[in-house]
């Protein structure tokens, strides 16, 4: 018996994807730490999809581009396959747009946001706000 976890892309549960159709992307959590809010997720963006507003995070954000071209339009940063991106806690960034279909790994070392951004719903943001009660986890 091992505590190691292996998840193959073809084995992802289709019912576990969080869809954001109005923003042209979907998200699949590979790992969530309910106590800290830290997470690792797979993001798939359709061409033209993205985050429409400048925003900031309640923790450090890290991304690795597996395929496509994903642009941070205010800073002219473009992630391409093999690109690593780090955005420090509280640093405003965005909006973003996928120049082509893009697949990214996104990692947070703590909670995602202080307050729910407009592109999230109560269902999709659950457990990732800085003021969420972690004591019940």
This prediction has a pTM of 0.87
**Residue environment code for 92-111, b if the CB has 16+ CB neighbours within 10 A, otherwise e:** ebbebbbbebbbbebbbebb
User: Which pLDDT value is given to residue 133?
Assistant: 55
Categorize the per-residue pLDDT at 4 as very low, low, confident or very high, splitting at 50, 70 and 90: very high
Domains in the chain (CATH in brackets) are 16-136 (2.60.120.10)
Cβ-contact 127, 32 below 8 angstroms = yes
User: Which pLDDT value is given to residue 74?
Assistant: 94
Q: How many residues does the chain have?
A: 137
Q: Give per-residue pLDDT as tens, 25-79.
A: 999 999 999 899 999 999 999 999 999 999 999 999 999 999 999 999 999 999 9
């Amino acid at each position: 018996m091992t505590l190691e976890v292996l998840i193959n892309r073809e084995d992802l549960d289709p019912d576990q994807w969080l869809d954001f159709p109005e923003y042209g992307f979907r998200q699949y959590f590979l790992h969530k730490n309910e106590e800290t809010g830290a997470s690792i997720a797979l993001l798939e963006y359709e061409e033209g999809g993205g985050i429409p507003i400048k925003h900031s995070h309640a923790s450090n954000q890290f991304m690795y581009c597996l395929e496509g071209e994903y642009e941070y339009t205010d800073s002219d940063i473009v992630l391409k396959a093999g690109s690593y991106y780090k955005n420090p806690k509280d640093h405003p960034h965005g909006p973003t747009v996928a120049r082509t279909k893009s697949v990214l790994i996104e990692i947070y070392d703590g909670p995602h946001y202080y307050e729910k951004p407009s592109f999230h719903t109560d269902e999709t943001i659950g457990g990732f706000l800085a003021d969420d009660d972690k004591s019940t986890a």
